[in-house]
Structure 1
Amino acid sequence: MMTFSRFFAALSLVGMTAAYAPLTQAVQPMSQEWEIDAPAPKIPARPQGYGDRVGEKALNSFANIATGWLEMPKNVINTTNQSNIIYGFIGGLAKGMVHTAGRMGVGIAELLTLPLATKPIIYPLYIWDDFDVDTVYGEVMRLQEEPRQPEVAPPPAPQAAAPVVAPAPAPVPPPVQYPTDTNRKIDAIFKKEMMK
């Protein structure tokens, strides 16, 4: 029994250290003078390292194990809001028990697979995030992939500009001229038809 408690204490210490390690690397401001109207500085997004991912996973697993029981009141409230109070209490309590077991099971699974930097299995990640949204479970054991940077092609070499030449105007065909006797015939037909 003594070795189990030592193992659990060591595991807890390692998990807490991994969870709080990213906080020790935070950049502290050089001076405490802040301008009130100044816009917030934009911090460039840096890729997460392995330690950051494992630390977040440890924090998620401990939070899900500790707060999994909050799924019961959450589901009672949400089911009551969606239906009536009787069904909300009975059905929400049953649904909450299932999600409590699911959230705590996900926390234990993430704790056991702590060295693998995988994507979170459960959404919302914490019980207090999106309290009115039902808990859903995603794919298990999917590794987080680094966002790939698009390859930048080298700029094309400058080329000498070709001289600009105005296009020659297209030749206009001459209008069609009918012989005069054709015009007299058409005029005669037109007059005959108009007299009718």
Structure 2
Amino acid sequence: MSKMPRILLLAALTALSTAAPASPPPAQGALSVANAPVPPADDYGDKVRLKLASGIMNMMTGFVEVPKNMINTANNTSSYGSAFDRGGYVLWGITGGGLKGAMHMLGRTLAGLTDFVTCFVPTEPITHPAFVWQNFYTDTQYGPYFKVDSQPKPAAPAPRK
């Protein structure tokens, strides 16, 4: 293994281990961690770590968009009724979802490269959801590019008299 993949893997593991703060265990019937939304980052370091982690992981896992879109396309097609027979759902999922997944793979990989290069600019990641495994059954969206904050910080309460 050459030095560059080792360095990228080490950077990804370091960024992921520090990107998300620890949270209490989910209650019974709660959503899994894979579907949990990314908490908004409060300070510069958190924003940089989130963007660096999403950039590295999107470059490394962009290929997961192909099977994700095959599954989602087959599942969404089956809800249209009798337009296809049983084999048609799978066939359309493999062909149409495969092409759609290839385009999203390219988009996620290039967006990951952009996030990696511009990680020191504290903006949100370009891809939504930030990681391919979050909200697995929703389509990947891109942009708005270089949006600074999704939620403004609340104003500090007025001092008591």
Q: What is the match of residue 15 of structure 2?
A: 19
Deviations 1:27-49 (A, max 9, x none): 9xxxxxxxxxxxxxxxxx99722
Match of 2:107 among 98, 102, 111: 102
Instruction: Tell whether 2:88 aligns with 1:88.
Output: no
Task: Write the letter of the residue equivalent to 1:69.
Answer: F
Q: What is the match of residue 169 of structure 1?
A: none
Q: CA, structure 1 residues 50+126, in 2 after alignment: closer, same or farther (shift >3 Å)?
A: same
Q: What is the match of residue 152 of structure 2?
A: 147
Deviations 1:47-102 (A, max 9, x none): 72212211111111111111100100111111111222222111000000000001
- Structure 2 CA distance for aligned equivalents of residues 149 and 80 of structure 1: 43
Q: Which runs of 4+ in 1 moved over 6 A?
A: none
- Structure 1 CA distance for aligned equivalents of residues 74 and 40 of structure 2: 43
The sequence identity of aligned pairs, in percent, is 32
Asked whether the equivalents of residues 47 and 124 of structure 2 are also in contact (C-alpha less than 8 Å), the reply is no
Match of 1:65 among 59, 67, 89: 59
Q: What is the match of residue 84 of structure 2?
A: none
Q: What is the match of residue 74 of structure 1?
A: 68
Q: What is the match of residue 54 of structure 1?
A: 48
Match of 1:132 among 129, 133, 137: 137
Q: What is the match of residue 111 of structure 1?
A: 116
- Structure 1 CA distance for aligned equivalents of residues 16 and 137 of structure 2: 29
Q: What is the match of residue 82 of structure 2?
A: none
Name the count of aligned residue pairs. Answer: 132
Q: CA, structure 1 residues 75+52, in 2 after alignment: closer, same or farther (shift >3 Å)?
A: same
Which has the higher relative contact order, 1 or 2, with Cα contacts under 8 A spaced 6 or more apart?
2
Asked whether the equivalents of residues 18 and 54 of structure 1 are also in contact (C-alpha less than 8 Å), the reply is no
Deviations 1:142-173 (A, max 9, x none): 223773333545668xxxxxxxxxxxxxxxxx
Question: How large is the RMSD of aligned CA atoms in angstroms?
Answer: 3.3
Q: Name the TM-score, length of structure 1 as normaliser.
A: 0.56
Q: What is the match of residue 127 of structure 2?
A: 122
- Structure 2 CA distance for aligned equivalents of residues 123 and 100 of structure 1: 13
Asked whether the equivalents of residues 18 and 58 of structure 1 are also in contact (C-alpha less than 8 Å), the reply is no
Q: What is the match of residue 32 of structure 1?
A: none
Q: CA, structure 1 residues 132+144, in 2 after alignment: closer, same or farther (shift >3 Å)?
A: same
* Structure 1 gap segments, 5+ residues each: 28-44, 157-196
Asked whether the equivalents of residues 41 and 47 of structure 2 are also in contact (C-alpha less than 8 Å), the reply is no
